[in-house]
Amino acid sequence: MKILIAADGSDYTKRMLGYVAAHDELFGPAQDYTVFTAVPAVPPRAAAVIDKQTLQEYYADEAEKVLKPVRTFFEKQGLKAKTTFKVGSPAQAIAKMAESGKFDMVVMGSHGHSSLGNLVLGSVATNVLAHCKVPVLLVR
C-alpha cells in the first residue's frame, strides 16, 4: 500500500507518528511511505525582492525542520520513507499530492499549529477531507 504521511511538526504530527508506531499490523515495512509537508509561500511583495536561490533555500530549510524529525522516526522504526515538500496551501497541496502520487491512503494529525480556528477538527484536516479523493486517516 502506498501511504502519504502529511506532517507539519505540531504535537498532532507527533501523536500521528505514535499511532503509526503502535499499529504495525497496518504500518509495517511492506508499505511504501512518502512523508510530505507544505511550506507556506512567502508573500508576493516580499518574494519579489528576494533572489530565487535564496527563496528556494528558505523553503527547503523550512521543510527540513519538519521532515528531519519524521525521517529520524521512520529510521528508528526500521521503515523506509521518501520525503518531499511543496510550497503553498497545506490542504490543497496534500490533496493534490495524494491524487497525483496515486496514494492509497493519507495519514495526518487532526490539527496543526493553529488549532484555534476549529476546535473539533483543524481547518487543514477539514479541507483535506473535502478535497481528497483517497481515504484519509486522521489521528487526534
Residue 99, Ramachandran bin (φ over 0: left; ψ between -120 and 50: alpha; else beta): alpha
- Segment 71-110, tens digit of pLDDT: 999 999 999 999 999 999 999 999 999 999 999 999 999 8
What is the pTM assigned to this prediction? Answer: 0.89
